[in-house]
Amino acid sequence: MAVTDRVQTPPPNTNQPASRDKSVKRLAFSQKVSKWDVKLSPYLYISPFFVLFAITGLFPLLYTAWVSLHTWNLIGGQGKFTGLENYEFVLAQPFFWNAVGNTFSIFLLSSVPQVVLAIAIAAVLDANLRAKTFWRMGVLVPFVVAPVAVGLIFNNLFADQAGLFNEVLTGMGLDPVRWHSDSLASHTAIATMVNFRWTGYNALIFLAAMQAIPRDVYEAATIDGAGRLRQFVSVTVPMLRPTIIFVVITATIGGLQIFDEARVFDQAGLGGADRQWQTLTMYIWELGWGQRNFGRASAVAWLLFLIIVLIAMANFLITRRIASQGGRR
Amino acid sequence: MHSRARITALSAAAACLALALTACGSGGSDNAGVEGETGTEDVTLSVGTFNEFGYEELFTEYEELNPNVTIEHKKAATSNEARDNLTTRLAAGSGLSDIEGIEMDWLPELLEYSDQFADLKDPAVEGRWLDWKEAAATTEDGQLIGYGTDAGPEAVCYRADLFEKAGLPSDRESVAKMLEGDWQNYFDAGKKFVAASDGTAWFDSAGATYQGMINQVENAYEDKDGTVIATDNADVKDIYEQVLQASVDDGLSAHLTQWEDDWTASFQSDAFATKLCPGWMLGIIEGNAKGIDGWDIADVFPGGGGNWGGSYLTIPTQGAHQAEAKKLAEWLTAPEQQIKAFESKGTFPSQVEGLESDTLLGQTNAFFNDAPTGEILANRANAIEVRPFKGPKYFPINDAMQQALTRVDVDKTDDPASSWEKFVTAVGAL
Amino acid sequence: MSSIPMIEQTAGKGAARAAQRGLGSRRRGAPGGTMRRPGFLTYGFLAAVILGSVFPLWWSFLVGSHDSSVISKGVPLVPGGNFLANAASVLDTIPFWKALGNSILVSTVTAVSVVLFSTLAGFAFAKLRFRGSKGLLVFVIATMAVPTQLGVVPLFIVMAKLGWTGSLWAVIVPGVVTAFGVFWMTQYLRDALPDELIEAVRIDGASMIQAFWYVGLPAARPAAAMLALFTFVATWTNFFWPFIVLDPSNPTLPVALQLLQAAHFVDYSIVLAGAVLSTIPLLLLFAVAGRQLVSGIMQGAVKG
């Protein structure tokens, strides 16, 4: 690795007083090296990401922006330059706004319970349990199940007539839920799939962060007479701030891009006969791959990108405020 | 959240941008047909298929006959995946196989980009296929972009036991006689059945039945010149209303959506008594209805003949070995080979000679009460007269129509009139 | 608030040892928030969570252990005796071993490189002061917001230009460092690695890379272990992009498994037997790495 080669040379010790010219020169040189080391190293360390991003991230972003300003058939390719026409068109579509609404609804139904439940599970896992490894790995199992199996299973559970959930409901004398025709029901079902897959995962992330909280802080709180709940609210949560910000932002980004779970919710993959659960990414897919209108699809992709950035920023500010209310130590 | 495993989006240095953009629009404009010597050089040919083409053994046979050829089989699971894959590679301008299998319904759109595909017209294959099969893959100016493989001639599959219980004739000759005629006749028979049965519907799904009917209309959604006429076409609206009248008002439908879990499960619960069935549907019915006795198949289809599905082999002009590829495609789609594929995976031939083969005509199906399915489907294939024109917007329009039917038949969130309005809006947004 | 042990040695290993000792002493106490063993309510709650988590895997095994004629009548509650037969037909139908090898290779390389590069970048963002660091970090996070679906065509174009379509490079390279990993490491190291520790080794003459190697990496270990596991699993189960860019003849496991559905009538007992087979390596990994990972989490309790 070039990085290590470069820095193998620095002298191990710069603290000794220089008693000879040679040492003075060496010191001057090493100080120079050290100065550059301090200045350049950070950029060097972050460069792998940015180099890769230039190759695999920036190009699609610019490409998509370029496409969105043209009529562009997915197969036929570039048509004439139309400026913002694609944006105007999709913004005037009720289907677009329907997709925005669905995306936010599914996002809220999945991310809020997910984060809350994940913290709760993490707090429990953080206790002095027997057979820790078993419990901790157990909550992560949904993450390893092959997605094809998850899709099959949940479709089986949520089938309107033959599904297990509705069989149980009708067995208890209740009305079956119309999972595939009622908007909110379909959002709930999809959010359940999302939560199933990601709650344990987020719980372990929180757990790792909780483990990093020094125990003496809790001891001090105990001495101050704080109960467990009180400790959790005024010690654990504030100390988890960076992790909470992390989880909320990644959950926001992932949640607003929700695609797989909603797409496999029925066989047609278009988000329901009345677009009950068509999300923005599915709308992108419909425009681009279904209608071959790459230009309009790109416009929606860019709008989604802007929405996500805005929401993620708002989330960041809100989360920072909430998480710091407990007071940082 | 799923995107944490995200395909960390895409791209190469910005320098690539200019290159890439040009890669996207143009294709080879070499329409002159495929020339070149074959059989001399060592080549590896890739063949992209999906579902079951039944080619595995044929590939080995071909490699033995042509020692210079090695075949690499690239198989996708479903036709939807194959279509997404094909589209991405066409859009990106590279990555396609030397031979790409395509489904019949993709043709109208691919014909628009016929310059991406080699012209396969050849005196050697003249008259090989049923007229409508070959015509569907031919452009206005006579370029043939694909060789036909299988076809999906439609018959009516039915539950003889339930027919009998409801007092209807149940042997396949009498059923064929009873259902011979137009769709109204088919629905009338259904009304009789439903009145006499307890809770079993006549057919599975409004959408599936509609599909059988619309495939008999010559210009349903688009004019020959590509003008969208779907929402003004009286034929479309008639069929729409007729199907929903039968499904909802007359209660003939089991209110299911084809391929959904409820639909699959319904085969075990006597939910419906008839189902429109192209040849490839037989295996699906048999699989889903395992353990249920009483299925049979009648040599009849309401409103004349009808076809649903079937595939072609195309040769993208991206490929480096088009002459060798054409030779292979020509061999694979020859009647003798298609019959072998039929024997191996039941892919029903679209070749005229294939339909006369003794192997085919002698085939019976134990699950369908030992019906002579080969003969029945061959008759059904010969009964097809109308060649429905499907334009480049066929897919999205038909999707919107299926959604409109589902809203009324399955979801029950709309009445026929308001659902039609939504269909009009959706088509308007294309 | 900080009780960082004075680091007496100069740079290098000494500093690391000191740092490690620091970690070690910190975790003598109870690992949990309290020494008290939790009661049965806690275990009951956890048991419910685990049951729900394991159910789909168990269900897959149930279906995979019967044949399709049984399943069409509803999934039985006890396993059947058909699993090995189904597994055998999975091995007959798809290039399972090749796909397994590819998946192991792709997931391992991706996990190792993501951890290395993300930790490096996270260390810089969390602990080093440099011009533009805030803006660059926001930029990193913003890159996660680019919708994936549309990227498929441009990324495919790039891979085609590089001649990588069909090769494992096309799957590995886009994943060697992720914004997710960089963000995660940044957030973790920000609090888990005390500034004083870095200052101490710097004063003792360590270069930046030495500071990273001997202080940054050890402090990052628990988060790195999790990032490695997450990345490995996510790469292992990833379907969409590998499906687009790889050939079915040289697939990863999920791409190969899809071929089990290549028929008009799909036999789900075989599909799910395949799904279970593809999950077994991950469960083995859990069994081996689980203990390691958990103790890693515990050891990571560095906090000033």
Most confident stretch, B42-56, B80-94, C251-265:
B42-56
Give the closest of A63, A180, A198 to B1, CB-based.
A198
Interface contact flag, C56 A150, Cβ < 8 Å: yes
According to DSSP, the residues that pair with B365 across neighbouring strands are B371
Considering only CB atoms, B92 lies closest to which of C146, C160, C241, namely: C160
Distance separating alpha carbons of residues B143 and B134, to the nearest angstrom? 11
Q: Of the candidates A75, A155, A272, which has its C-beta nearest B91's C-beta?
A: A75
Distance from CA of C155 to the nearest CA of A (A): 7
Residue owning tokens 């395992």 = B290
Contact residues, chain C, for B46 at CB < 8 Å: 247
**At a CB cut-off of 8 Å and minimum separation 6, what does B67 contact?**
none
Residue of A nearest to C124 (CA): A42
Q: What is the mean pLDDT of residues A230-238?
A: 84
| Residues in Cβ contact with C271 at an 8 Å cutoff, skipping those fewer than 6 apart | A148, A152, C257, C260, C261
Chain A touching partners, 3 or more CB pairs below 8 A: B, C
A89 touches chain C (CB under 8 A): no
B257 Cα distance to chain centroid: 17
Residues 131-150 of C with CB under 8 A from B: 143-144, 146, 148
Distance, first Cα to last Cα, chain B: 31
Yes or no: say if C203 and C278 are a contact pair by the CB < 8 Å rule.
no
Radius of gyration (C-alpha) of chain B in whole angstroms: 23
Q: What is the pLDDT of residue C295?
A: 64
Q: How far is CA B41 from the centre of its chain?
A: 36
Contacts of residue A327, defined as CB under 8 A and 6 or more positions apart, other chains included, come to: A234, A238
Q: How much is the pLDDT for C29? A: 39
Q: Do B73 and B59 form a contact (C-beta atoms < 8 A)?
A: yes
B24 CA: distance to closest CA in chain A (Å): 6
pLDDT at C267: 84
Sign of CA dihedral B55, B60, B65, B66: positive
The one-letter code for the residue type at B147 is Y
The mean per-residue pLDDT over the stretch B281-297 comes to 92
Using the Cβ of A200 and the Cβ atoms of chain C, whether some distance falls under 8 Å is answered with yes
Test mutation, A161, A202, A284, chain B, max B CBs within 10 A: A161
Helix axes A241-256, C179-192, angle to 10 degrees: 170
Nearest by Cα to B135 from B124, B121, B123: B121
Neighbours of chain B (3+ CB pairs under 8 A): A, C
Is the distance from CB of B342 to CB of B349 less than 8 angstroms? Answer: yes
Does B30 have pLDDT greater than 70?
Answer: no
Supply C124's token pair: 């810089």
Residues of chain A with C-beta less than 8 angstroms from the C-beta of B262: 159-163
Mutation site for A-interface testing, chosen from C68, C113, C208 by largest number of A Cβ within 10 Å: C208
Write the pLDDT tens digit of every residue in B204-252: 999 999 999 999 998 899 988 889 999 999 999 999 999 999 999 999 9
Segment C129-156 mean pLDDT: 84
Give the model confidence (pLDDT) of C8-27 as tens digits.
222 233 333 333 433 433 33
Express each pLDDT in B379-394 by its tens digit.
Answer: 999 999 888 888 888 9
Strands B295-298 and A70-73 turn out to be unpaired
pLDDT at residue A192, as a whole number: 93
Question: In chain B, what percentage of residues exceed pLDDT 90?
Answer: 68
Q: How far apart are alpha carbons B356 and B375 in whole angstroms?
A: 9
First to last CA, chain A: 41
For residue B19, pLDDT over 50 is answered with: no
pLDDT digits (tens, 9 = 90+) for B333-380: 999 999 999 988 888 999 999 999 999 999 999 999 999 999 999 999
Q: Which residues fall within 8 angstroms of residue C97, CB to CB, at 6 or more apart?
A: C91
**A residues 236-275 closer than 8 Å to C (CB):** 236, 239, 242-243, 245-246, 249-250, 253, 256-257, 259-260
Q: Tell me the range of A151-155, B2-6, B108-112, B334-338 where mean pLDDT is highest.
A: B334-338
Task: Tell if the CB–CB gap between B10 and C247 is shorter than 8 Å.
Answer: no
Facing residue for C140 by CB, picked from A42, A49, A129: A49
Closest CB from A254, A267, A269 relative to B4: A254
Q: Which of A37, A145, A208 sits opposite C207 (nearest CB)?
A: A37
The secondary structure element, H or E, covering residue B159 is strand B146-159
Read off the pLDDT band of C102 (50, 70, 90): very high
- The pTM (predicted TM-score) of the whole model is 0.85
Query: At C36, is the pLDDT very low, low, confident or very high (cuts 50, 70, 90)?
Result: low
**Which of C90, C265, C269, C270 to mutate against chain B (most B CBs within 10 Å)?**
C265
Which residues of C are less than 8 Å from B81 in CB distance? 243, 258
Cα of B265 to nearest chain A Cα, Å: 7
Q: What percent of chain C has pLDDT over 70?
A: 83
Nearest Cα of chain A lies from the Cα of B316 at a distance, in angstroms, of 13
Question: How many Å lie between the alpha carbon of B419 and the closest alpha carbon of chain A?
Answer: 9
- Is the pLDDT assigned to residue C123 strictly greater than 50? yes
pLDDT value at position A27?
Answer: 66
Cα angle value A289/A292/A294 (rounded, 5°): 90
Distance CA B111, CA B42 (A): 31
| C293-304: pLDDT as tens digits | 766 555 544 433
